[in-house]
Structure 1
Amino acid sequence: MNTEVRFHRNLVFATLDSLKLIFNEQKQADKVLKQTLKRDKRWGSRDRGFIAETTYDIVRWQRLYAKAADVKAPYSREDLFRLFAVWAVHKGHSLPNWPQLEGTPVRRIRGKFDELKNERVYRESIPDWLDAMGLDQLGGQWEEEIKALNQQADVVLRTNTLKTNKNKLKDALEDAEIRTQSKKIAADALVLEERTNVFSLPIFKDGWFEVQDISSQQVAPLLDVKPGMRVVDACAGAGGKTLHLAALMENKGQIIATDIYDFKLAELKRRARRAGAHNIETRLIDSPKVIKKLYGKADRVLIDAPCSGLGVLKRNPDSKWKLSPEFMEEVQELQADILSRYSRIVKPGGKLVYATCSILPAENQLQIEKFLASEAGADFKKVEDKTLWPSKTGFDGFYMCLLTKSN
């Protein structure tokens, strides 16, 4: 079916420029798009939406489209036009009458798609090694999960209960003509019915909400924090879960947010100011002493460990082209090391949550089993763990495990 979409050259060219940086120079898709979308002040939300969605779509399906277009990375300008043509044909759009797209073999491309959908590595557009690893660790379930991870992610908000409540936030969004739905699985979550840029809203600037997936919103509550506690968020990053912890603690007590990257902690401070979260102190891990000083001092510890990010491919589709088997091995060693060292921060009688945004047992259950069998894990007991499967929830893939330390 042909749908009449009018393609504007400047938008298509901006898309191809973005793809060149992502594919040929291995730049991060979200950062590239942030820059691209600033290029022309006259672009409206529909124009920007076209660039972002088309770019992400071609990134997500790169392997399938490149095979159908018969091109290989690094891509020339001509190759990028061919990728765009293949994308348009796949979407059922009529190609514009431009010299760069002349002679596109539309029927042959359609035939190629029919042929390629019989092989999962093309159908789901993934590297061979990743497909083999997923199949090895998840068996028949891998098929469902990788399919779910190729869907576009929903935009989910977490109500900042330090400033407002979910009903007030829902009403304020409704006033801005943004419709949302609640979900039982996360108390403060609102899911947008349609994608829209929420960052320009005055209520965002006033700290009423954060953008945070429903799966990610289930990590902080598992830690069972109470106002007045001392809590360490050991791999805090830019602080999505730190801010959630601050809200759950009603700004009372102390949260020490540590990370090895200064720029992430700077972003966390900025977000904390906007959210009105006053009980957060950031500490840069610039030597092993920073962690050692905290040994035995915290009621609660969150280890949101570095991981493959396989569970969040919906929102970071470019990462499947950047991952490698070597990285997977390195990150698993790092996870084991962090779990072994940072678990010592927990006081006797305290609690620890280990979490990743991955769905692979090697990064999750197997790490916990190894930890509990080690000397470092001797005082810990597993209370509960859960894997949130994208195929079942429709949201990001996550793993979380709650451990308690004996008195």
Structure 2
Amino acid sequence: MRFHHNLVQATVDALHNIFNDGKYADQAIQKILKRDTRWGSRDRGFIAETTYDIVRYKRLYASIANVNEPFKQEDLWRLTSVWIVLKGYDLPAWDEYYNTPVRRIRGKLDEVRKNRKMRESIPDWMDEMGVKELGSLWDQEITALNKQASVVLRANSLKTDVASLKEKLVGEEVMTTTDERFPDALILNERANVFRTKLFTDGLFEVQDAGSQLIASYLDPKPGERIMDACAGAGGKTLHLAAMMENKGQIIATDIYQSKLNELKRRTRRAGVHNIETRLLESTKTIKKLAGKMDGLLIDAPCSGLGVLRRNPDAKWKLQPEFIDKIKATQQEILQSYSRVVKSGGTMVYATCSIFPSENEVQVDTFLKSEAGADFELEDSQTLYAHRDGFDGFFMARMKKK
């Protein structure tokens, strides 16, 4: 591979923003990519993928490079040199790489790769928690969560179907694969900027992980029903619910952030959806008004996000164990509060993008044993694991109100 100095410099700058300034990786990368309009898709892809890879393996690369945070400029260049060497490429003859100990880099990798915390590049506390929560499964799962995520599309059934969309994407030189486990999904064979296609601007698809696409289906909403999406966010699952309901009935999408609901409104226009009503949650009045009136409730609860580390590798370095303890309390509060909106015979789905039982099965069990959960019974639950199912990690439980 031939390396270009300005692209590696852009990577170094993105790493500085992420590691030293605490910026989110996706935002830091997007800002860097706007720097030079002459960069083509391959250039932009190199910056993004290289940055994500170094973020993903920060602890491993920093150990091999013998550098510590906060990283100086030369330290960040050392991280890129480790990345280049471990990928099997020759280092460019640049001043930044002068006297880089290539043989020592390879030797140091052999030394540390037996240690899972170093090999998979995770904080000590996360490794300990992973073993406690998942036992022997943790080793396989964290390895899978360090792989680059596939780009998956969800065909918008209000405007197209999977077969037609797949054919139209060929015209955009985007090749895809289907998976019978995920009926609305198309998996890109190679990464591409699908947001620039007319198919996206016309609302024929959304970008949504295959595992995430199962959650709306798990609720099994019917046209004409009243459904509440309690933690809608920007509305990926809300839009899927609307498509399954054929734009009939009503979906009440709530969130505590107006900016996310504004984004949902923008996405509904593109998708051709008109049965969604957004409501900003500022008090408990909304829940009280809807008590016993919903056919279905989706709680896509806030969580640690450990099931989606492939997409958000910087979360490994931002997460703290105290936050996970706090979010568990929030999860149970949401279950206790929102469950009141489900009418007799209605259905509630509790879902997270975590693979830890303490955020999943334990929360459901606690709820069902509580006064608020006394009228509910568990119909089914399942966990998606990256190492077994090939996509992001998710949990979902479906409960019926008696």
**Structure 1 length-normalised TM:** 0.98
Residue 304 of structure 1 corresponds to 300
Unaligned runs of 5+ in 1: none
Whether 2:285 is the aligned partner of 1:289: answer yes
Cα shift at 1:290: 2.1
Whether 2:260 is the aligned partner of 1:269: answer no
Q: How many residues align?
A: 402
User: Following superposition of structure 1 onto structure 2, how do residues 2-401 of structure 1 map, counting pairs within 5 Å?
Assistant: 5-401=1-397
1: CA distance, partners of 2:88 / 2:30: 28
**Aligned partner of 2:219: which letter?**
L
**Aligned partner of 1:300: which letter?**
G
Cα shift at 1:292: 2.0
2: CA distance, partners of 1:12 / 1:153: 22
Cα shift at 1:150: 0.5
Moved more, 201-210 or 293-302: 293-302
**Aligned partner of 2:178: which letter?**
S
Identity %: 61
What is the DSSP-based 3-state SS (H/G/I as helix, E as strand, rest coil) of the residue aligned with 1:290? helix
What is the DSSP-based 3-state SS (H/G/I as helix, E as strand, rest coil) of the residue aligned with 2:274? coil
**Aligned partner of 1:171: which letter?**
E
Moved more, 227-236 or 172-181: 172-181
**Aligned partner of 1:90: which letter?**
L
Cα shift at 1:61: 0.4
Residue 398 of structure 2 corresponds to 402
1: CA distance, partners of 2:31 / 2:268: 25
Cα shift at 1:136: 0.5
2: CA distance, partners of 1:401 / 1:331: 18
Cα shift at 1:92: 1.0
**Aligned partner of 1:196: which letter?**
A
Cα shift at 1:405: 0.4
**Structure 2 length-normalised TM:** 0.99
**Aligned partner of 1:276: which letter?**
G
1:149-192 Cα distance to aligned partner (Å, 9 max, x none): 01100000000000111111010001111111110111111101
RMSD: 0.6
What is the DSSP-based 3-state SS (H/G/I as helix, E as strand, rest coil) of the residue aligned with 1:215? helix
Cα shift at 1:26: 1.3
Cα shift at 1:348: 1.1
2: CA distance, partners of 1:227 / 1:54: 45
What is the DSSP-based 3-state SS (H/G/I as helix, E as strand, rest coil) of the residue aligned with 2:111? helix
**Aligned partner of 1:106: which letter?**
V
